[in-house]
Amino acid sequence: MTYQAVIGLEVHLQLNTRSKIFSACPADYHGAGPNEFTDPLTLGLPGTLPTLNRRAVELAMMFGLGLGCDVSGFTQFHRKNYFYPDAPKNFQLSQYDRPIARDGYLDVPGEGGPERIRIKRAHLEDDAGKLVHPTYAPYSLLDLNRAGSALIEMVTEADITGPEQARAFLESVQAIAQSLGVSDATPEEGKMRCDVNISIHKPGEPWGTKVEVKNLNSFRSVARAIEYEAARQAKVLDAGGIITQDTLGWDEGGQKTFLMRTKEGEADYRYFPEPDLPPLDITPEWIAEVRARMPELPAQKLERYRAAGVRESDAQTLSLSVSLSKFYDEALKSGSDTQKPDAQKLANWLLTDVAGALAAQEKGVEDSDLQPAHLAALVGLIDAGTISGKIAKDLLPDVLAGHDPAQLVQERGLSVVTDTGAIDAAIDAAMEADPATVEKVRGGNAKAMNALFGPVMKAMGGKAKPEVVRERLTAKLGL
Amino acid sequence: MAAFQTAAQLARAVQSGETTPQQLLHGALARAEAVRGLNALVSLNSHAEEQAAAVQGRMQAGETLPLAGVPIVVKDNINVTGTRTTCGSRMLANYVSPYTATAAQKLQGAGAVIVGKANMDEFAMGSSTESSASGPTLNPWDHERVPGGSSGGSAVAVAAGISPVSLGSDTGGSVRQPAALCGVYGFKPTYGRVSRYGLVAYASSLDQIGPFARSAEDLALLMNVIAGHDPRDATSLDAPARFAVGGADSLRGLRVGVIRESLGGNTPGVEAALGATLDALRGAGAVVGEVSIPELEYAIAAYYLIAMPEASSNLARYDGMVYGERVPGGDVTRSMTLTREQGFGQEVQRRILLGTYALSSGYYDAYYAKAMKVRRLIADEFTTAFGQYDVLVTPTSPFPAFRRGEKASDPLAMYAADVDTVAVNLAGLPALSVPAGFEEVDGKRLPVGVQFIAPALQDERLLALAGALEAVGAVQLEMPQD
């Protein structure tokens, strides 16, 4: 008999703040030498006091609003006490019973339409430093650059049912965070980290005991860990065993979970309200002000693209990517002086030819030389019949390198010839050169006309518009 | 020996060119040397000489400095760049701060010269200045007795004339009680009036920096400099500092409420000084009544159940990893454990353990949460009392200075020494200890103090009152014999 999985996710996002969450210490430490991004507070020196970064609060408000959460009213920080050298004060400043965002949801695309995942809460906290363990060294080293960075931790209800849904959810969260500028949300840089809570049970039976899988650093690992755990737990239960409430790690190399600690080993964090930071009251006025500054959400983009006639799968791909949608929107806008490029054709070009070519260069649209207006112009030239799709593809490498397609067409004389005078001359020459075919056609064999079509196109260097050639031939042959 | 001069007098002398910051510094250092046996200071500021010269330079450049050249001592839990901040602990025996606390920076900005750091109970936990890693500080009135604590060194520095004013910190009475036991003024401002940035935390929701002085005018002078909002302290208040002393006529009609629960249980000398102070107030036209704050019965329990949990978290950072003394131990956990076992004294360890226990899962509601409720009730009762009275009054301490060692081995007896002071911190109120008389014990004259309490943010009212009390002769300021 098969089992159902009950899954909840915890997602940590590093916020896009210039300074750390509780001090003016600069936060952009990526690539810096160890401990270069520290100040007295980051080092936990005696006598230092936290002051709350306003931008961190506003980004958290935006994120909460983007997830349909309630962010109003009092919010407060608590101290989470534990001893570990990566936390210089031996406590973390986090939120406990009054998180900044509560009770939201996110609709993710599913097979039978959108599926709703409820968001329990999202709260602010500071990040820890990093312990470095040099190989064979009898010591460890401490790098506090990351310590005090602003984090948001988002927790879902246990509404997720499988690995693909988890992945779709995480992609949506990532898109929201990136669209709002809340976080770079790049798992590979550690700016988005996930923990999975998962249990299984048979339909109609009560939920099983859950385990937590910690520190998953890619969406793929999340999906794999869910698959692995669901299968492992099923095996244990089928064999008559029981699941214990453990905390597991994910072995990336072996693609399996491993035991980190049992419930008995869990710390008592002795949470209590941070006396150095008064509670914060988030007023309706403040929320309105932040909402007014919020960039467009992925769901809003999706609606817009659907309305513009973009097919569902392309609309979703575009709306989930900040860089693609930004590029696409600029390209769409740029067509105004002549005519708007067709929304779907533009999407086709961007998501197939352009995306393929850039992938080969290991680039994204944001760091390519391709101009949105140029792509729009290329699509416009095909639409207007000025160039063929084949010529457009030939031009693409140069357009990707930053060249204007209209200019290329002009310089290289690539424009499709629609001048009937030149075409007529070529037709006359072809008819003269092949009187036998002309006879056949005039004798009633209309299909024979094709024997003249090729030489005309050849004489025109492939630049004649085929429909025009056909039309002129038909007329000249008196068909 | 000539009478000790006040900060106001010294600043005027510097401003008029009669003396220089360097001369005042040399005088303070000479006096510190003369009374070295009291063990009031744990370290001298090695940059003081150049800082005095810098003040002189600023004067010559035309700056007006309210504390021009005034030598000052600060408690050793207040960070000053380039000086050691030991907090009276082995843990920080060699810790040199890379930054300066806001209050100390404001003093320096006003022209004061920090002479040295004052001895204290380890991490400000104590009422006798006996638990310092630098040894006990002696009471200048009787060297067998304690100066009170935890800011005992700051109180003695002023009482023995090293500096006219000093800074301490008051979490449950740590400025007011030693002020009373040493015969000087000690002022605990409204929570948030003075920035805590750079003050090493004991119990964050209760800690407040406060001045010691030998005149009401000096208290006002100092408060006008150190009070004010600090963007580095999220709990600091934005209230303009308008401190000034009042005259005798300001006492007319003043409504003074004696807190009933603070009467009885005091030594005769304490009762006598309180009575004399009340008589003087009545004589000047004040209306004296009695008021009850029943919740005071629970104040000490609530105080320790809030202070210790906060301390257990605040002191968690001392693990020897990034700074401070480190005891090696094979692995990280062992090293941290040994560091904390050997770096902290007994009382600090006791409070960390009790605080950790009180915050633990299953005990939080019974202890910490309950204490927070008591705290709110006490604050409410004070608010009610202030509906009837402008200021409330109690003894600062039920007894004068006790003998060294007398309470050191009995923590509960030591905690009880705070009976008159802790409620003020729980309610976040301003309170002033006024030197109000002497009690003769075993042939020695020991100072006693009277405490005045005002509503939150009415700090100015207390310093005005102090000036008025001086004017009617109700303040007993004397110099101890060397």
CA-based nearest residue in chain B for residue A278: B235
Query: Where does a domain end: A241, A272, A289?
Result: A289
Q: Match 């700056």 to its residue by tokens.
A: B63
Same-domain status, A131 and A197: yes
Q: How near does any CA of chain A get to the CA of B89, in Å? A: 13
| Predicted local confidence at residue A289, as pLDDT | 97
Comparing CA positions, the residue from A391, A414, A383, A171 lying closest to residue A298 is A171
| Whether A32 and A104 share a structural domain | yes
Distance from CA of B124 to the nearest CA of A (A): 13
Same-domain status, A206 and A238: yes
> Is the pLDDT at B306 greater than 60, yes or no?
yes
Active-site pick, B174, B195, B215, B250: B174
What's the gap in Å between the CA of B234 and the closest CA on chain A?
A: 6
> Is B201's CB within 8 Å of A79's CB?
no
Residue B359 touches partner A, C-beta closer than 8 Å: yes
The Cα of A197 is separated from the nearest Cα of chain B by a number of Å equal to: 23
Q: Do B319 and A90 touch (CB under 8 A)?
A: yes
Only one residue has tokens 């014990």, namely B441
Q: How far is A20 from chain B (nearest CA, A)?
A: 14
Same domain, A401 and A439: no
Q: What is the pLDDT of residue A335?
A: 64
A397, burial (CB in 10 Å: exposed 0-12, middle 13-18, buried 19+):
exposed
Both structure tokens of B372: 């927070």
Segment B271-285 shows an average pLDDT of 98
As a whole number, mean pLDDT of residues B337-358 equals 97
Whether chain A has a CB inside 8 Å of the CB on B77: the answer is yes
A213 with A262, same domain: the answer is yes
Lowest mean per-residue pLDDT among B1-10, B205-214, B347-356: B1-10
Domain-terminating residue out of A389, A412, A435: A412
| Contact: A47, B97; criterion CB under 8 Å | yes
Q: What is the pLDDT of residue B272?
A: 97
Say if B313 is an interface residue toward chain A (CB within 8 Å). yes
* A321 and A265 fall within a common domain: no
Q: What is the DSSP string of B146-179?
A: ---SSSHHHHHHHHTTS-SEEEEE-SSSTTHHHH
Q: In this structure, what DSSP letter does residue B121 have?
A: S
| Active-site choice (B89, B97, B150, B166) | B150
- Co-location of A173 and A53 in the same domain: yes
How far apart CA A169 and CA A176 sit, in angstroms, is: 11
Task: Render pLDDT for B419-476 as a digit per residue (tens, 0 to 9).
Answer: 999 999 999 999 999 999 999 999 999 999 999 999 999 999 999 999 999 999 999 9
At A265 the pLDDT is 66
CB contact (8 A) between residue B205 and residue A275: yes
Instruction: Please report the pLDDT score of residue B1 as a whole number.
Output: 40
Q: What is the domain-level CATH number for residue A424?
A: 1.10.10
The pLDDT score that the predictor gives to residue A1 is: 56
Are A282 and A381 in the same domain? no
- For residue A450, the enclosing domain spans 420-477
* Mean pLDDT taken over chain B: 96
Helix (H) or strand (E) holding A156: strand A150-156
Query: Looking at the predicted structure, is the pLDDT value of residue B147 above 80?
Result: yes
Q: Assess A138–B contact: CB distance below 8 Å, yes or no.
A: no
- For residue A280, give the chain B residue with the closest CA: B234
In Å, how far are A145, A148, A363, B109, B441 from A185, measured between CA atoms?
Answer: 19, 18, 18, 45, 72
B174 in active site: yes
* Count of CA atoms in the C-beta half-sphere (13 A) of B13: 16
Name every chain B residue with its beta carbon within 8 A of the beta carbon of A85: 319, 321, 332, 336
Among A372, A393, A412, which residue terminates a domain? Answer: A412
At residue B3, the pLDDT reads 64
Query: Between chains, do B77 and A81 touch, taking CB under 8 Å as contact?
Result: no
**Which residues 461-480 of B have a C-beta within 8 angstroms of A?**
none
* Number of structural domains chain A divides into: 3
Q: Which residues of A320-329 are buried (b: 16+ CB within 10 A; e: fewer)?
A: bbbebbbbbb
Indicate whether A30 and A134 sit together in one domain: yes
Q: Domains of chain B, with CATH numbers?
A: 1-481 (3.90.1300.10)
In terms of domains, do A372 and A446 share one?
A: no
Q: In this complex, do B313 and A88 lie within 8 Å of one another by their Cβ atoms?
A: no
Residue A85 to residue B98, Cβ atoms within 8 A: no
Considering chain B, what percentage of its residues have pLDDT values greater than 90? 95
What's the confidence (pLDDT) of residue A478? 78
* A323 plus A258 within the same structural domain: no
Residue B482's pLDDT is 82
Q: Which of B75, B106, B117, B407 is catalytic?
A: B75
Do A130 and A216 reside in the same domain of the chain? Answer: yes
Q: Indicate if B75 belongs to the active site.
A: yes
Average pLDDT over residues B33-49: 98
Q: Which of residues 24-63 of A touch B (CB under 8 A)?
A: 40, 43-52
Tens of pLDDT along chain A (479 residues) come to 589 999 999 999 999 999 999 999 999 998 999 999 999 999 999 999 999 999 999 999 999 999 999 999 999 999 999 999 999 999 999 999 999 999 999 999 888 888 999 999 999 999 999 999 999 988 899 999 999 999 999 999 999 999 999 999 999 999 999 999 999 999 999 999 999 999 999 999 999 999 999 989 899 999 999 999 999 999 999 999 999 999 999 998 999 999 998 876 667 999 999 999 999 999 999 999 999 999 999 999 999 999 999 999 999 999 999 999 999 999 988 865 556 778 899 999 999 999 998 888 888 888 889 999 899 989 888 887 777 777 888 889 999 998 998 888 878 777 766 667 778 888 888 889 898 888 888 888 888 888 888 888 888 777 777 888 888 888 888 77
Active site residue B335: no
For residue B87, list chain A residues with Cβ-Cβ distance below 8 A: 46
ipTM greater than 0.90, yes or no? Answer: yes
